[in-house]
Structure 1
């Protein structure tokens, strides 16, 4: 058994490691620069996070042009640039059965136009950009094999393969996998904009084109690899058409039956992916829009033996504060969204109830704050982190609205949201109603994370939070932009951080669908009460997914069936079933496996579920698990707290905290002595800072006070706190007045607005 001296020395060593021991549960801390703004992220393996941005004027250069992609090293907290050849702006993404990743679609190539009278760089879809070095990404399929080590050591197999393309142009599409590993690619725009609806809906009602929106909307599905169908591999989607423009970044989850749950506008369906028959489900009871640009936090709840791995979906936030007309069109909203309060409403829906009853929404606990662009990240303990977003407004950006036709008059530059939510919250679906949201002990960030922000679970159980860029191009705080492009990455440290982590032995590298169980062990002496620890242990698989626009495509949590056997020396053996013998529950591909003891997870490691190929997966009958067998030498299971105590007494977390505190105290003493010798008085410093701040605000029409003390909570004290009335949305009924003519489909980006009086970027 390790001695106290060894534990203490180990803790001191950890205390000197970058950003680990010094952090406590609930902290959220800056850790480094991503070099490109993290609009999209996915975890490639145990070492690397892949980051994608749009083609824009990032300072970081690769091959003579601004970079649009990077790879983050989890151990060193540094980013290395990688090339991306086709513009990935607002792409979809998903994993493949063998562990590779694919991203689908993106934006047209972009070129700066510095002559714009709006004072910003407009964008033209007119060929490969000499500035940004990308080609048209809207049909692109980018395949990547995740590699380890330094990027400089990678072979060609580690970089993108762009030899495949989609059939249709897609921007703001969604991806979800089927049980054989085939990827369904859902919807999207052709040229892009605020919502997927032409201005002719307003200006020329007789010419309305709900199916294709005058060649701007791609209200269809296709598959990767391509599936032969009557439509040359493309399947029309009446559901997307009926969603009336609020249908991009559709929420999609595969069900146990193999049907696909889809949510857009306020509506949901189940889609048979063989016959393509759509079965309508109930509309959202509060008429809350959850998809982009309302951008709610949406996730599948844990799949567990107790619920027979039956999928249920949680929806939190979004907005119902805009009327159908106010949602506008491709160009921009027909309102000022930052004046509209986001929703704090949460609903649960089980699309396929196990008892065969009709699907029905269930009211859940309201969030501590209303949020648009809030994102759910599933943690290994089965709780859900809610992070990022704002209390007012929506996702997207624009240069003008019907009442503000000059960018200089926009109150938050291009951002359509404000009143950022800086404090995370944790949702525990296992708690009784009224007790599911937790904010106690969670620290606030100092970085607003609005449009184009992301968050993702790391294998060590931390959450990486990055991105935010609510504008057409890179914008800097030095240019007096209230919500600038963010390159700082943060780590959030969940409540289990700092506790002694389980150290399981025998974790597999592959799993099958049914078949022989496997065994995992926890060492003798690891816990004071081995029986109690064993009874509170579970083995889980998590897919962090492809995160962008407040959603995570493919994010899923599955608890494997398991039993335990405790030896007389305290060694715990877990007998663990393979994945349930239904590939629709957990599709083939990579996942991270964790052993969780009383809410504290082990360090996760990657494995592959299934055959590693896109094919019908082989299933087998699950071998019966041995019965639970506690040891008579320890207290009865469930009779005491397993905590995270080792048999030596104090946990590693305690020693880490002690060492970290000692280091902090020594640093503080040194700083105070230095400050007494070198610094001006606090009064002088404070006066100088205040004067500088006042001068900056006088000269800055977009200034916001982003110091932590100045941030309002629950919307209090903010100039935009008026709650707009809840206005019902319709997925099919449009009776809107005509407005100024605007043919976005001809403009493909910059276009005249209000009879050509103002050149403008339009909304995204």
Structure 2
């Protein structure tokens, strides 16, 4: 007996028609050539300061600053201002700026006035969008500086003297769920404290982990890596060890955190590299990184291999991947890094062996005291490099005052090709019981 074909339900038919219309687009994506490897673009040849630190604020402007104790910068303070600091180690009266504001939209620089030495200070953004920078060197090691963004040119650094309990040089800051920042460690400091301070709670707290990871005279637990875990604990990495640190001294609202997986990627230097470099033996950097899922009940390290060795690593995290800023391939921080790495890396959460991808190289070495940050449009802003104490040009790695952007291959225009519905017109209506014919074409934006 003959059977009657079962009619295809209208919703399923609509779905199949849409998939059929999308087929040319899908084939186009599959046949795209390999990505272009990213593109470098020089924005400014001289921003006046070498970018030791950078931070994007909520007005789409970037705050940059460098140490104050290396002499004059290449940009003057506005309106004939001068910084009078009897404690400065180089210039007691300095009429140049050591911090600038970069306007992304206009590609312009405005000088700012930072009063005390921010050399290797630490900071983070506050809930209201302000940038808080703490500690530093010499006259700035216990100070707190706050930059509150504005829509005009009226905002500048505000400084609060001796606001910290301890000297904080090479410390690390992290924002907490209650809006305060925790400030961890620093050179010779095996403690932590909070800022802003609460009434009656001005003390610092001993953290034995920092003294346990300190090898005397080897400087290998400066700037400890600090990340807030999904359960409110802190992941702290220093030297070659890590802990999960319980600082839940009060109740914080961490809605939904238990269902979120958190992983940390750490790329460090070979043991003994600082001592070797000080003796003129510039040991090759490691080409490995450790990855650990800190939200697991029993976290374990998994090692990953980069295409090239590098030290002084900087990562910029996007939604699905990370971009690795170039640095040196031997030696260590300071003026004892060698063999610059000009090639950034893309790191994607793909299977092991397929995660790292080299991008196109820059022509500018970015050594000690350089940095990179992610802009809102997905580009990477890169600036700085000054291994020397002063602005010097006749050395292997001179002071660099340029600013450039790197557009990773995920911004390649070839990925912008997408289907556009030609017919029916926008906002057309259709019943689920009737057929609907969609006509589309490919459009490159």
Given the two structures, how large is their TM-score scaled by the length of structure 2? 0.77
Corresponding position: 1:432 with 2:351 = yes
State the 1:443 CA deviation: 2.0
User: Are the equivalent residues in 2 in contact too, given 1:36–1:68 (CA < 8 A)?
Assistant: yes
Partner residue of 1:144 out of 143, 147, 154: 147
Q: Distance in 1 between matches of 2:339 and 2:146?
A: 38
State the 1:25 CA deviation: 6.4
**Which runs of structure 2 are paired with 1:730-745 in the superposition (5 Å)?**
none
State the 1:307 CA deviation: 10
Aligned to 2:9: none
SS at match of 2:210: helix
Aligned to 2:158: 161
User: Are the equivalent residues in 1 in contact too, given 2:230–2:257 (CA < 8 A)?
Assistant: no
State the 1:104 CA deviation: 0.5
Partner residue of 1:448 out of 365, 373, 380: 365
Alignment deviations for residues 305-336 of structure 1 (CA, whole Å, 9 cap, x no partner): 999422110123x221417xx649xxxx6533
Give the strand-richer structure, 1 or 2.
2
SS at match of 1:528: strand
Aligned to 2:261: 310
User: Are the equivalent residues in 2 in contact too, given 1:529–1:634 (CA < 8 A)?
Assistant: no
Partner residue of 2:54 out of 38, 41, 60: 41
User: Are the equivalent residues in 2 in contact too, given 1:45–1:147 (CA < 8 A)?
Assistant: no
Q: Distance in 1 between matches of 2:437 and 2:289?
A: 43
State the 1:77 CA deviation: 2.1
Alignment deviations for residues 31-85 of structure 1 (CA, whole Å, 9 cap, x no partner): 1032110000000124311001111331222224221100011123221111111
CA RMSD of aligned residues (A): 3.0
User: Are the equivalent residues in 2 in contact too, given 1:321–1:342 (CA < 8 A)?
Assistant: no
Alignment deviations for residues 668-706 of structure 1 (CA, whole Å, 9 cap, x no partner): xxxxxxxxxxxxxxxxxxxxxxxxxxxxxxxxxxxxxxx
State the 1:344 CA deviation: 0.5
User: Are the equivalent residues in 2 in contact too, given 1:227–1:233 (CA < 8 A)?
Assistant: no
**Which runs of structure 2 are paired with 1:67-86 in the superposition (5 Å)?**
67-86=97-116
Higher relative contact order (CA 8 A, sep 6+): 1
SS at match of 1:94: strand
Partner residue of 1:343 out of 280, 286, 296: 286
Alignment deviations for residues 492-542 of structure 1 (CA, whole Å, 9 cap, x no partner): 01213253999xxxxxxxxxxxxxxxxxxxxxxx95278xxxxxxxxxxxx
State the 1:244 CA deviation: 1.3
Corresponding position: 1:50 with 2:63 = yes
Alignment deviations for residues 209-264 of structure 1 (CA, whole Å, 9 cap, x no partner): xxxxxxxx12110001224788x421011011111142210000011111111000
User: Are the equivalent residues in 2 in contact too, given 1:229–1:235 (CA < 8 A)?
Assistant: no
Partner residue of 2:245 out of 260, 271, 275: 271
Structure 1 pair 650/253, CA: closer, same or farther in 2 (3 Å)? same
Alignment deviations for residues 137-187 of structure 1 (CA, whole Å, 9 cap, x no partner): 1111111111234x3xx2xxx222223611111111100122111110011
Q: Distance in 1 between matches of 2:435 and 2:341?
A: 51
Corresponding position: 1:483 with 2:423 = no
Partner residue of 1:28 out of 28, 40, 48: 40
Structure 1 pair 634/370, CA: closer, same or farther in 2 (3 Å)? farther
User: Are the equivalent residues in 2 in contact too, given 1:102–1:143 (CA < 8 A)?
Assistant: yes
User: Are the equivalent residues in 2 in contact too, given 1:48–1:148 (CA < 8 A)?
Assistant: no
State the 1:634 CA deviation: 8.2
Structure 1 pair 363/85, CA: closer, same or farther in 2 (3 Å)? same
Partner residue of 2:270 out of 302, 316, 320: 320
SS at match of 1:496: helix
Structure 1 pair 168/499, CA: closer, same or farther in 2 (3 Å)? same
**Which runs of structure 2 are paired with 1:374-385 in the superposition (5 Å)?**
374-380=313-319, 382-385=320-323
Corresponding position: 1:258 with 2:197 = no
Alignment deviations for residues 356-386 of structure 1 (CA, whole Å, 9 cap, x no partner): 3x1111122x111100023111124x11111
SS at match of 2:411: coil
Q: Distance in 2 between matches of 1:501 and 1:435?
A: 20
State the 1:463 CA deviation: 0.7
Q: Distance in 1 between matches of 2:130 and 2:411?
A: 30
| Number of aligned positions between the proteins | 376
Q: Distance in 2 between matches of 1:458 and 1:445?
A: 18
**Which runs of structure 2 are paired with 1:676-691 in the superposition (5 Å)?**
none
Q: Distance in 2 between matches of 1:632 and 1:250?
A: 62
Aligned to 2:338: 418
**Which runs of structure 2 are paired with 1:667-678 in the superposition (5 Å)?**
none
Structure 1 pair 482/98, CA: closer, same or farther in 2 (3 Å)? same
State the 1:345 CA deviation: 0.5
Corresponding position: 1:61 with 2:76 = yes
Corresponding position: 1:249 with 2:198 = no
Partner residue of 1:361 out of 301, 318, 343: 301
Partner residue of 2:381 out of 456, 460, 464: 464
User: Are the equivalent residues in 1 in contact too, given 2:51–2:66 (CA < 8 A)?
Assistant: yes
State the 1:274 CA deviation: 3.7
Aligned to 1:184: 182
Identify unmatched segments of 5+ residues in structure 1.
Answer: 1-23, 109-135, 190-216, 277-304, 397-414, 503-525, 531-566, 572-628, 636-645, 653-764
Aligned to 2:205: 235
State the 1:471 CA deviation: 1.1
Aligned to 2:136: 106
Aligned to 2:11: none
State the 1:454 CA deviation: 0.3
Given the two structures, how large is their TM-score scaled by the length of structure 1? 0.46
User: Are the equivalent residues in 2 in contact too, given 1:321–1:340 (CA < 8 A)?
Assistant: no
Q: Distance in 2 between matches of 1:383 and 1:81?
A: 33
State the 1:349 CA deviation: 0.7
Q: Distance in 2 between matches of 1:60 and 1:393?
A: 32
Q: Distance in 1 between matches of 2:278 and 2:123?
A: 31
User: Are the equivalent residues in 1 in contact too, given 2:172–2:184 (CA < 8 A)?
Assistant: yes
User: Are the equivalent residues in 2 in contact too, given 1:46–1:459 (CA < 8 A)?
Assistant: no
